[in-house]
Amino acid sequence: MSLIDWLIVGAYVVTALVIGLYFTKRAAPSTAHFFVAGRSLPWFVAGTSIVATTFSADTPLVVAGLSRQSGIYENWFWWSAAIGQLATVFFFARLWRRTGIMTDIEFLVLRYEPSAARSALRIFKVVFDGILVNCIIMASVTFAMAKVINVLLDLSPTPLFHLPLVGGVTSTALVLILLAGTACPVCIAFRPLRRRIHRFGPIRARDDRLHRTCRHDVHRCRRRCGYCGQTRCRA
């Protein structure tokens, strides 16, 4: 790296530190402020922030590398997620905000009555999202950053894998907490399946806040029961 490269990196680090120190005085005073910005953000900003968590510094590098290696069709690696991300921003985020909850596990507690099925679903999400998915994500992000640092600083990637094990536990835990929020829209996505779920057991909605997520008039809700799942919607 030349002198100008080091100056750019140094300026970026100093800027990040100054911004961080400035905003320490505005640290989140509560859990709601930490997870949902005190509910001060409009739904479309909150939805966009959820989608933004699917991107990282290595995302452009991965897409560019796949396109160069196999052709432009490899862009479907991330184009395929566009429909789901748009639905998250413009549809699910609005409904999620109206429930007044913060996490996907809280949604499960709100959505289903206490039962073995609800407990099994919560255990599945902990094992699948909390362990399997997060381990894969953390491994890919760590490996990508190791390759970038290897090219920029000419360092061996092997010690870079040891650093998170020695001193990066806190940072890793914070990242996992943020990643857990990406599973939130998935729970609301299954809302139209309410009537089908009722046929297979005693699982049923146990809080009227879920019924208020639909703001359509009663007549329209009856015509579009697939949207709200029932005819109890109130304007």
Identify whether 22 is part of a domain.
yes
Q: With 60 as the cut, is the pLDDT of residue 134 above it?
A: yes
What is the distance, to the nearest Å, from the Cα of residue 12 to the centroid of all Cα atoms in its chain? 26
Q: Which residues contact 36 (CB under 8 A, 6 or more apart)?
A: 46, 102
23 burial (CB, 10 Å; 0-12 / 13-18 / 19+) is exposed
pLDDT digits (tens, 9 = 90+) for 21-76: 777 776 667 777 777 777 777 877 777 777 777 777 677 777 788 888 888 887 78
The C-alpha atoms of residue 80 and residue 229 are separated, in whole angstroms, by: 27
Rg of the chain over CA atoms, in angstroms? 22
- Give SS3 for 144: helix
The C-alpha atoms of residue 208 and residue 100 are separated, in whole angstroms, by: 12
Q: Name the residue with tokens 């069709």.
A: 73
32 burial (CB, 10 Å; 0-12 / 13-18 / 19+) is middle
pLDDT of residue 157: 64
Identify whether 122 is part of a domain.
no
Identify whether 66 is part of a domain.
no
Model confidence band, residue 100 (pLDDT cutoffs 50, 70, 90)? confident
Identify whether 5 is part of a domain.
yes
The reported pTM is 0.46
Identify whether 29 is part of a domain.
yes
Residue-range definition of the domain harbouring residue 10 = 1-37
- Tallying the residues shown for the chain, one arrives at 235
For the chain, the domain total comes to: 1
Structure tokens given for 103: 């996490």
pLDDT of residue 173: 52
pLDDT of residue 217: 42
Q: Which residues contact 75 (CB under 8 A, 6 or more apart)?
A: 63, 66, 67
Whether 161 and 142 have beta carbons less than 8 Å apart is answered as yes
Identify whether 32 is part of a domain.
yes
Identify whether 18 is part of a domain.
yes
pLDDT of residue 53: 76
Q: With 80 as the cut, is the pLDDT of residue 18 above it?
A: yes
Model confidence band, residue 166 (pLDDT cutoffs 50, 70, 90)? low
User: Best-predicted range by mean pLDDT among 183-187, 215-219, 223-227?
Assistant: 183-187
Average pLDDT, the chain: 69
pLDDT of residue 218: 41
Mean pLDDT calculated for residue range 124-129? 84
Identify whether 156 is part of a domain.
no
